[in-house]
Amino acid sequence: MLSAKQIRSGFIDFFKSKGHEFVHSSPIVPIGDDTLLFANAGMNQFKDIFLGLTPPQYPRVANTQKCLRVSGKHNDLEEVGKDTYHHTFFEMLGNWSFDDYFKAEAIQWAWELFTGVWGIDPDRLWATVFEGDRTDGLPEDEEAANLWTKVTSISPDRVLAYGKKDNFWEMGETGPCGPCSEIHIDLGPDMCDMKNVPGHKCQVNAGCARYIELWNLVFIQFNRLGKGKLVPLSAKYVDTGAGLERVVAVLQNKKSNYDTDLFMPIIDSVGGITGHNYISKLGNKTDNAFRVIADHIRSLVFAITDGATPSNEGRGYVIRRILRRASRFGRELGMHEPFIYKLVPVVIDCLGDTFGEIRERADYVSTVIESEEASFGRTLDRGIEIFDIAAGSAQKSINKTITGEDAFQLYDTFGFPFDLTELMARERNLKVDTAKFNELMEAQRQRARAAQKNDSLMTVMADTELPATDDSLKYNTDSCKSKLLGWIDNEGFKKQGDIRTGDEVGIILDKTCFYAEAGGQVGDCGIIKSDDARFIVEDTTKIANCIIHQGKVAEGSFNIGMDVTAIVSRDRAAIKKNHTATHLLQWALQQVLGKSVAQQGSYVGPDYLRFDFTYPKAPKEEELKKVEELVREKIVADLPITWKVMERDQAQKLGAMALFGEKYGSEVRVVAVGAEDDARIEDAFSKEFCGGTHVDRLGSIGGFKIIKEESISTGVRRITALTGTGLNDYFEKASDIVDELSVLLKAPSDVLVDRVSRLIKDNKKLSKELRTASKASGSDVMTQAKQLLQNCEKIGETHLIVGRLENTRIEQAREAVDMLKKKAKSASIILGFDDDGKATLLAGMTNDLVEKGLSAGEIIKAIAPVIGGGGGGRPQMAQAGGENPEKIDDALANAAEIVTQRLGG
């Protein structure tokens, strides 16, 4: 039996024998293509070739493409686990012809490989072709239909024609497309999963699992523009896609993709971790969970490796949902703690030889998955609380239904999976308003679509030949003489007429020294001028090899063929400094934090630089200080920078760092810092694949400072830093602040810190004092008490001090009693006050009276009921609290009476 590895290489080798070149899969996260969240077909990386924007490197190519079908036009997420042959992540084997061979060879070779090389029984195979479509004005693909019987041994009754839905391939709403021809396999009547569906008849494209599609041969000959319009492409292409997992299942004689050696090791590992058994049954809840988890972990490993991280928008949101779905199915297997991350090694065992990148990033991927699982655990707990509230209102409703709004809020705001809402509702005999939920989901999708960058310019450009611009001057000079070839406006590329003051267009020149936005470095600004006209360039971008200077005519007019001068703005110097500093920063981070630091993205502008990199935790302050120090040492050493264009393999051998997942051509530019000349590039301490502009010597960077370090998502950190003039401005501002502080505090700068910390300390002390003082202005209470003493009654030699205090708290009142005892020498003291609506009574007795048998405690006990409360204490001092402040005077009168009586007055 052939292994999956042998089948994969068998495919590639077969097409190599037919003159095809093997190319690597493009990353699953398409860098530089905002129209697509994830690679969903082999053709994504060749889109520019189909559009005529880039010439193909080879006329025939074969590959295995990493695909993820979880969003947009192709979304198989919900199928996963329920059937045996749809995955979120899968490999698409493909052979390609770029205006070389066409339908005949594509059909013949597919048949030869399947039936000849791999020996699949021809009587199990069916072929389909396109039957045409009236609304699109597309004819039937008679050519393909005829070829099937001509170049293969298939029996004519096994070639069927279908409509647009099945046999016309499109990548997205717009872009290259064409009719296709598919090969399906009949897996036998047992495999039908629609036996209970009335009227179901097993056949190709009838939706049951008996017939499944193995290989799609697409003949790209049209481009779909916006609004559905189709135009023929000047060249013709073959784009084929065969799902490796399905082919492996057929060749290994398995009924399910999950039973092949691509999945079984993962399934076994899930069994080992969870202690459950997999019996490969459809419709079985436990098995379903196994399949979903085994499927999703592959997607997670590949997507996170290629640069997606769980977050709340775009790609990150899709990844988060896949992970949460897996985690949720983990609960079916009794897993409540993070465990999915433990499957990373087995995925690497299965696929790490074919896709080395997953092996390189294993630790990082595990960290991300584990922490996301943990946070989802918390989310679930919170979601369950919210669900309970929603379920509570549903219980009370007439139709016992959880509203679509509640379900949507649970899903959207709290990340609570909809299927879980449904399940938990069912458990409580509640329904969910699915229709409303779907409506809200659709509305959200539309919002997301509207928010996605539109690619209309790209499509407009699709059927025009944009000229290539020679922009090699960007590395050498800031101004150059050029010829104006045309411009792009809303309608497309213009090669005649003129543009005048106020017109906003994208100017195209034969050559330019402007740098077009790429690799994190912003596009240049500047001007393009002739003798009496001026165009302000606000940004520079690139479509294929054409450089577009976007901006506005400030004065005069321009026409085609005109001689102009292109001058890059002075910002360029600042950009260069920041770009070289970014390289130094990456190098220094790796020195200090180790090799797990890998670039995730960057921004290099004139004002500052930003560098995103993988690292599992916040770097320590002293580590960042060390990074700054290393960068500054190199700047002070004023080492030179050189660059060289070389073969990709050679660059890799030199250890040059590439941006992970970036698509590079076979020739790359390597920027080397610290090598005296090109010939000794290997001496450089930093070598990176980079097309950006750099300073000549490090000294001109002028300085370096990290001004911010933060986390931007799980496992990804961001550093913002300054150099050159940006740094000078920063220091200028800082020094102004110091000067102002010096003036304010009347102190030289070197003692400012001391002075300010003293101020803070003093301030703390003062506010504490103020707080105590303001609780009751203590001295005022004392004055009141003294007055009471002055005006008090005397019974013999002893004082009867009875009265009210205002604005006091218990501490002050106690102090007052002590003070009165001392001053009066012999006294019975009964004080009352209103403490924020609460009546308080306080009694004190000097010792001579206590000896005579008087007791503050007794008196308090006697009068406390008057204020509606209770109290007590010692003979010397006692207190009571009560609800009725308005009775304080009564209570005091009462007390005076008791004391007078006791003393026999």
Residue among 92 and 420 whose Cβ is closer to ligand ATP = 92
Q: How far apart are CA 711 and CA 718, in angstroms?
A: 6
> Is 186 or 628 the residue whose CB approaches ligand ATP more closely?
186
Q: What is the rounded CA–CA span in Å between residue 549 and residue 531?
A: 19
Residue pair 605/578 in contact (Cβ under 8 Å)? The answer is yes
State the minimum distance, in angstroms, from the CB of residue 298 to ligand ATP.
11
- For residues 33 and 295, which CB has a smaller minimum distance to ligand ATP in the complex? 295
- Shortest separation between residue 83's beta carbon and ligand ATP, angstroms: 9
Interacting positions 480-509 with ligand ATP (CB under 6 A) = none
Stretch that binds ligand ATP, among 237-245, 432-440, 752-760, 806-814 (CB under 6 A): 237-245
Rule CB under 6 A: is residue 86 a binding residue for ligand ATP? yes
Q: Which stretch binds ligand ATP (CB under 6 A): 211-219, 271-279, 318-326, 598-606?
A: 211-219
Strands (E) in 570-662, as ranges, are: 599-604, 609-614, 641-647
- Reduced to 3 states (helix: H, G, I; strand: E, B; else coil), residue 62 is strand
**Under the criterion CB under 6 A, does residue 242 sit at the interface with ligand ATP?**
yes
Q: What's the min distance (Å) between Cβ of 72 and ligand ATP?
A: 12
Q: Tell me, by CB under 6 A, how many residues bind ligand ATP.
A: 15
Within positions 56 to 85, which residues make up the interface with ligand ATP, using CB under 6 A? 69, 76
Smallest distance, Å, CB 705 to ligand ATP?
49
Minimal distance, residue 108 CB to ligand ATP, in Å: 18
| 8 A C-beta contact, residue 784 and residue 806 | yes
Tell the smallest beta-carbon distance from residue 536 to ligand ATP (Å).
Answer: 46
From residue 243 to residue 282, what is the string marking binding to ligand ATP with x (rule CB under 6 A)? x-xx------------------------------------
Judged by CB, which is closer to ligand ATP: 8, or 799?
8
Q: Using alpha carbons only, give the angle 4, 10, 13 rounded to the nearest 5 degrees.
A: 145
- Closest CB 53 distance from ligand ATP, rounded Å: 23
In terms of CB distance, is 258 or 416 closer to ligand ATP?
258
Binding segment for ligand ATP among 54-62, 212-220, 707-715, 747-755 (CB under 6 A)?
212-220
Q: Which is nearer to ligand ATP, 241 or 703 (CB)?
A: 241
Rounded to the nearest whole angstrom, what is the least distance from the CB of residue 247 to ligand ATP in the complex? 7
For 591, the 3-state DSSP assignment is helix
Nearest CB to ligand ATP, comparing residues 246 and 669: 246
**Shorter beta-carbon distance to ligand ATP: residue 47 or 86:** 86
Alpha helices in 397-433 (DSSP H): 404-412, 418-427
Amino acid occupying residue 73: K
Q: Which stretch binds ligand ATP (CB under 6 A): 107-115, 240-248, 300-308, 491-499?
A: 240-248
Q: Which of 225, 227, 194 is nearest to 209 (CA)?
A: 194
Residues numbered 88 to 147 that lie near ligand ATP (CB under 6 A) are 90, 92
Min dist. Cβ of residue 245 to ligand ATP (A) = 5
216 near ligand ATP, rule: CB under 6 A? yes
What's the closest the beta carbon of residue 695 comes to ligand ATP, in angstroms?
48
Among 100, 105, 213, 370, binds ligand ATP (CB under 6 A): 213
For ligand ATP, which is the closer residue by CB, 217 or 895?
A: 217
Asked if 238 is part of the footprint of ligand ATP (rule: CB under 6 A), the reply reads: no
> What b-and-e string marks burial along 451-472, b requiring 16 or more CB atoms within 10 Å of the CB?
eeeebebbbbbbeeebbebebe
Identity at 257, one-letter amino acid code = N
Sole residue written with tokens 């509203």: 403
Nearer to ligand ATP, 8 or 86 (CB): 86
DSSP notation for 82-100: TBSS--SEEEEEEEEEESS
Which of residues 213 and 372 has its CB atom nearest to ligand ATP in the complex? 213
Q: Which stretch binds ligand ATP (CB under 6 A): 239-247, 319-327, 330-338, 758-766?
A: 239-247
For residue 58, give the 3-state DSSP assignment: coil
For ligand ATP, which is the closer residue by CB, 87 or 887?
87
Instruction: Tell how many helices (H) and how many strands (E) occur in the chain.
Output: 26, 35
CA distance 600 to 336: 31
Rounded CA-CA distance 723/710 in Å is 19
Q: How near is the Cβ of 125 to ligand ATP at its closest, in Å?
A: 13
829 contacts: CB under 8 Å, gap ≥ 6 = 799, 801, 802, 817, 820, 821, 842, 843, 844, 845
H or E stretch at 821: helix 810-824
Q: Does 158 bind ligand ATP (CB under 6 A)?
A: no
What residues have CB less than 8 Å from 580, skipping those under 6 apart?
641, 673, 694, 695, 698, 701
Residue 249 CB, nearest approach to ligand ATP (Å): 10
Rounded to whole angstroms, the Cα distance separating 577 from 594 reads 25
In the bound state, the residue with its beta carbon closest to ligand ATP is 243
Indicate which single residue of 4, 53, 214, 813 sits in contact with ligand ATP (rule: CB under 6 A). 214
Which CB atom, from 249 or from 657, has the smaller least distance to ligand ATP? 249
Q: Minimum CB separation from ligand ATP for residue 242, in Å?
A: 5
Please report whether residue 241 would count as binding ligand ATP according to CB under 6 A: yes
Which of 714, 703, 523, 706 lies closest to 604, judged by CA? Answer: 523
* Closest approach of ligand ATP to the CB of residue 181, in Å: 11
Give the SS3 label for residue 687: strand
Cβ proximity to ligand ATP: between 240 and 602 the closer is 240
Q: Measuring CA to CA, which residue among 559, 563, 544, 357 is closest to residue 462? A: 544
What is the CB-side half-sphere exposure of residue 451 using CA atoms within 13 A?
9
Closer residue to ligand ATP, CB minimum distance, 215 or 493: 215
Checking 116-121 for CB contacts under 8 A at 24+ apart, the result is 117/10, 117/14, 118/2, 118/7, 118/10, 118/251, 120/185, 120/250, 120/251
In the complex, the smallest distance separating the C-beta of residue 10 from ligand ATP, rounded to whole angstroms, is 16
Cβ 178 to ligand ATP, closest distance in Å? Answer: 12
Site for ligand ATP in 812-871 (CB under 6 A): none
Q: Are 608 and 721 in contact (CB under 8 A)?
A: yes
Nearest alpha-carbon partner for 618 in 540, 710, 514: 710
* Structural contact between residues 588 and 704, judged by C-beta atoms closer than 8 angstroms: no
Q: How far apart are the first and last CA of the chain?
A: 119
Tokens representing 840?
């308080």
In the complex, minimum distance from the CB of residue 239 to ligand ATP, in angstroms, rounded to a whole number:
10
Q: Which is nearer to ligand ATP, 301 or 701 (CB)?
A: 301
Pick from 14, 50, 215, 487: which binds ligand ATP (CB under 6 A)? 215
Give residue 350's Cα distance to chain centre. Answer: 27
Q: Helix H segments across 594-723? A: 621-637, 648-653
Sole residue written with tokens 């054409």: 546
User: Which lies closer to ligand ATP via its Cβ, residue 300 or residue 543?
Assistant: 300
Q: Is 211 in the site for ligand ATP (CB under 6 A)?
A: no
Q: Cβ closer to ligand ATP: 90 or 613? A: 90
Residue with tokens 């090791």: 265
As a residue count, the chain comes to 905
**Which of 234, 205, 14 has the alpha carbon at shortest distance from 105?**
14
Say how far apart CA 302 and CA 66 lie, in whole Å.
Answer: 8
Min separation Cβ 76 and ligand ATP, Å: 4
Query: Residues 47, 87, 291, 361: which binds ligand ATP (CB under 6 A)?
Result: 87
Residues engaged in binding ligand ATP (CB under 6 A): 69, 76, 86-87, 90, 92, 213-216, 241-243, 245-246
